[in-house]
Each structure stands twice: as C-alpha cells, then as structure tokens.
Amino acid sequence: MEFIYFDEKITKSYIVITDCNKVSFKKDSCSLYENCMKKIQKNKIYLRLNDHNVKKLSKFMVSYNLKNTWIFLFKIIRIDLVYFVFDLEESFEIIFKLLFGVKFYTEKFYFHSFKNATIILLKIRYHLFLKNLNVLKFNFHFNLNELKQILSLYDNVKKITIKTHEINFGTLKFLINYCSDNSYKSFKVISFSYNSSNTDINVLKNIPANLLFFAGCDNNGVEIKRISTSYMPFMYNNYYSIPQNSFKSCYNIIFWECLNVREIKFWYDETLSSAKLDDSIFQSLRYCKTLKKFSVRNIELTDKLLVYILESTTLIFVEIIDYEWLFDDQFFLRTNTLNFDLKVFSFEDSKSLIEPNFMLYLARFRGLSGLKFYYTEFYLRKKYFENFNDKISMFFSKKACNRIYLKNLEIKGSSLHPDTKNCLYFLSDVYDFANLQSISISSYGLTEMDYDFFNKMNKLKVVIIKSIGESERIDFKRLFNNKELFNTVIVINISVSKITSDNIQTLSCFRNLMGLSISSPLIDYATIQSIRRKYFKKTDFVITEPIRKDRSSFINQYLDSEFIYGFS
C-alpha cells in the first residue's frame, strides 16, 4: 500500500504517504524535502502530528465513514514511530478526539512541547499504546512529582530520553537512585542548564552506567556559567566552545580526560589575523575520548592540526571555517595513516584557494560519506592537475584502494569568483559520484564536465541546484538525461534566473517526487499553465520566488484552482 485517497471534498487535499518510509500529511509545517533528507530506515512507517495538521485532520472527523476508516487504518498498520509536536493547548483536546478508539501498535513514542504536557502524556499512556511500547522520548518542562508519575506509568519502557530546560540536584538525585534500582533500563537526560545549588559531590559519584546526564551550563539562580570542573567527570556536554582567551586551558590533559563532551569549537575572532594553535594542544586533545564533532574558525590549517584529525579514532564530523592555508603535501605522501571513522568533512570561507595536492590528504579518509565546500574556491590550472594526477595515481596504487564513494556532496560557490567552475572534475580523482544520494551545487553555471558527471549518478534522491549567474541557464534535459533519476529522485530544489515550460515538462517526468521547490524571478503565465496537478499528485510543490504576494492574481488563481488548496 502506497497511497490512500479519501473521496470526500473535505479531505481531497490530504494524502497519506508511505512511499518514503514514513507517514506525512500534506501542508505540514516542516518542509517535506528537509524531512526526506534525514536518514530513514527502510520498511518503516512514521507518524508525525503537530498543531497545524491535527487541526486540519480534525475537520474530517465529522464524517462517520472517514472516522471509522481512520480507526481501521491503525488496526492494519504497524506504526514504527509516533511523534507528537504540540505547543497549543487546543491541540491537547483535539488529539484525544482525533485518536479516540485508536490503538497504536508501536514500540517508539516521541513527544515535544514548549508547555508542561505531563497531563497529556499520562492520558496518552492509557488510551493509545499497548504494552509493547519500548522507547519513550519527551521534551517539556516538569517538576519532580510529575516526573515520578510519568516513570511510574511508563514502568515497562526500557529506554527513556528526557529533554528539558533545567534539572536541579533534587531531580538528578532521584534519577540516580531510580536508575540504580532499575539497572535494566537505559536513561539519557539532556538539560539546557543544571542548577547546582546544594549539590552533593558524593551523590554524583554514584551515577550508574545506565544514566547519561547532559548539561549545557550551570544556573545556580545567581549566575549562568560553565559547568564546574569538579562536576565534569559525572556529566556530559553536547557542546563546548573555547574562545581565544581560553586557549591556555587546553594544555591540561586532566581537563580533557574529565570533559565528557561531544562537540568542541575553537573559534578565534574573525576580524583578526588567523591564529596558530600550539602543537601540544592536539596532543592533549587525544585524551578526550567522547569527542565526535570538531570545529575551528580563523585558525591556521597546519600539518599538526591535519594530523590530529587524520589520526583521531573518535571524530565523525569536522568543520573548518575561515581558515588560512598551510599545507605540506610531501609530508602526507610519506605517512601511511588511513582514517575509516570520519563521516563528514566541511570547509567554509577559505582565505586561499584549495590546490589539487590537498586531495592527497582527503584521500586518506576512506569512510567519508559527506563532503561540504561553502565559499571555498579551487585552484584549477591545468599544469597543477598534470602533476597532481601522477601523485594521486601513485597513492592509490601504493595503498591498493579505489576512489571513495560519497553519499552527500554540497558545493556552494562565491559570487566573488565567477570563473571558478568544474568543481566535480576537481574532486573526481579521489571521489566516485556513482552512489551519491544527495547533491547540492550553487555555482555560476554547469559546464560540459558537470553534465557528464551528473548523468553518471544513478542513485540520487535529493537534487539542489542554484545558478548564481543571472545570464547562466541550466539545461534541464541534459541535467536529467539519465532516465534512472526519474525513478530515484524524491526531492528537487531549483533556483534559476528563468524557468520555462520545457523545464516544467522535464520535472513532470519524475515518478516518485515528494518535494519540489522552484525559485525563479522570471516565471510567466504561459509557464505556470504548464504546471498540472496530475503530474504532481504525490508532491509537496512550492514556488519560493516570486512569493505569492508578488505574483499576478491570474497566476495565483490558476495555481489555487489546479491544486485545490491555497498554493504557496
């Protein structure tokens, strides 16, 4: 079953979609193409309800047949994840009417609200879920007594994640005792701040292994400050920023051993010249065993920094921003180190051009799946490529390895360098694009080489193309000359100077398109008339430019009549 249509006027604008391994409702408050880019397991059905769509869905509850059909659907479908996002109190009332008589056969339930939603969470447990619920995640404010009620009612749940604005010592002490008494359960508690007033360090020493406590800062009611170093061994931190005046503390090995942090940023004032981190900092950083994300800004890109990233066994994401180039390719030709752990490498705002020899370094990250270049220009002179091709061939021959198969590639060009093109060619000696699932290119235009590379991509799901140059045109027929893409692509985001009827005809050939966004300052009525709903029945279709108020009344009237609901 892929689509369910309700043949009643009140529900014609709603389609239940399972083709993308999830359940979504048309006109969701979140952009459909952004949701599709997230990792989703195959053969899974997800149901997400928020303030906007429950209000819309409640309208067809007046129909007796539709209401019974709604209940019947959840009897025959196993929902793998139920996700509620409610901020309006009226949504709390609507959801019980909407789901009256419904039982979810699900193991996972996520609930987010900016209001205290303890009451609804308690009622939901009685009315909606069977005993097979195994994972619970909730995000809202609560007090200790309310938390005790929730945990008592969801006693059979084995894995619980709690997110809230603040946790005090009394609540943390209760969780420590609760997790110690229920060692078979797994708890993760994430709080923006921790109120350290009256904290007993001896109690923190008893935090069991099945409880992970994340705190962003210490708010003791008097001031907001960093978590004390005395608490660091017992708490985790998703993010830790190190400003330029605190670099000296980075030499302390004990500091890094105690700092249970997932992400660290070394940010130096971008208005000043680039800073150079002392080599001993990287030696100390190796003692931080929990570090997953690493970011530097306005820092010299030295060999020692690059070696630390290359030799790290914990990092999965690295971001380098506003950097100055200092690179010795001969050094990396001599080393034998390969990295299989890093998944995403991002470069942004380079102060100098990236030369081909830097690819010798990137070629050592064998597990890389995502690569990003934002406002980073490539040095594309032919004589440098000839020398580089010999070096990279020698590298692959020596290591007995092939090119790296990327899954996600993002290239955002700069308006300051209109002549920089052929970025795919620059990367092609190291990376193979055949398995790309997502590509985002923002440049002055596509070259002959770009079209050739694009048509070798057989597994694309997300395509984002933006033309910076006003005079540059993108040939849609050549861009999508590979007919396999008509079956695989589910999201397209196009931004061009002018869109034509021929472009629309090409876009209408995609059979499984779920999200389509078009931005074009020049789009006439004749082109609009070529947009037919019958080709985009499964598609969340929006025109982001010109916006509705800047379009003619004739265009808006046509789109509204063609797509039934108010077209964005």
Q: What pLDDT, on a 0 to 100 scale, did the predictor assign at position 81?
A: 86
Q: Between 39 and 448, whose confidence is greater?
A: 448
Q: Between 188 and 88, whose confidence is greater?
A: 188
- Domain assignment present for 477: yes
pLDDT over 70 (residue 362): yes
Q: What pLDDT, on a 0 to 100 scale, did the predictor assign at position 246?
A: 56
- Domain assignment present for 559: yes
pLDDT over 90 (residue 439): yes
Looking at the 3D structure of the chain, how many domains does it have?
1
Confidence band for 343, pLDDT divided at 50, 70 and 90: very high
pLDDT over 70 (residue 156): yes
- Average of per-residue pLDDT across 176-181: 92
Highest mean predicted confidence (pLDDT) among 53-62, 101-110, 229-238, 501-510: 501-510
Confidence band for 5, pLDDT divided at 50, 70 and 90: very low
- Domain assignment present for 123: no
Work out the percent of the chain whose per-residue pLDDT is above 90.
16
Query: 491 is in which domain, residue-wise?
Result: 470-567
Q: What pLDDT, on a 0 to 100 scale, did the predictor assign at position 323?
A: 79
Confidence band for 173, pLDDT divided at 50, 70 and 90: very high
pLDDT in tens, 531-559: 888 888 888 888 888 887 888 888 878 78
Confidence band for 227, pLDDT divided at 50, 70 and 90: low
Q: Which long-range contacts (CB under 8 A, 24 or more apart) does 155-161 make?
A: 156/131, 157/133, 157/185, 158/134, 158/184, 158/185, 158/186, 159/134, 159/135, 159/185, 159/186, 160/135, 160/136, 160/185, 160/186, 160/187, 160/188, 161/136, 161/137, 161/187, 161/188, 161/189, 161/190
- Domain assignment present for 354: no
Instruction: Assign 3-class secondary structure to 210-273.
Output: CEEEEEEEEECCCCEECCCCCCHHHCEECCEEEEHHHHHHHHCHHHHHHCEECEEEEECCCCCC
Q: What pLDDT, on a 0 to 100 scale, did the predictor assign at position 340?
A: 94
- Average of per-residue pLDDT across 234-238: 68
Q: What is the CA radius of gyration of the chain?
A: 27
* CA distance to 305, 337, 369, 391, per residue, from 395 (Å): 22, 12, 20, 6
- Domain assignment present for 506: yes
- Domain assignment present for 264: no
Q: What pLDDT, on a 0 to 100 scale, did the predictor assign at position 561?
A: 79
pLDDT over 90 (residue 365): yes
Q: What pLDDT, on a 0 to 100 scale, did the predictor assign at position 489?
A: 92
- Domain assignment present for 527: yes
Q: What pLDDT, on a 0 to 100 scale, did the predictor assign at position 6?
A: 44
Confidence band for 55, pLDDT divided at 50, 70 and 90: confident
Predicted TM-score (pTM) of the model is: 0.68
- Average of per-residue pLDDT across 433-451: 87
Q: What pLDDT, on a 0 to 100 scale, did the predictor assign at position 3?
A: 43
Kindly state the helix (H) or strand (E) to which residue 161 belongs, with its residue range: strand 159-168
Q: What pLDDT, on a 0 to 100 scale, did the predictor assign at position 296?
A: 87
- Domain assignment present for 386: no
Q: Average pLDDT over the chain, rounded to whole?
A: 77
- Average of per-residue pLDDT across 363-379: 86
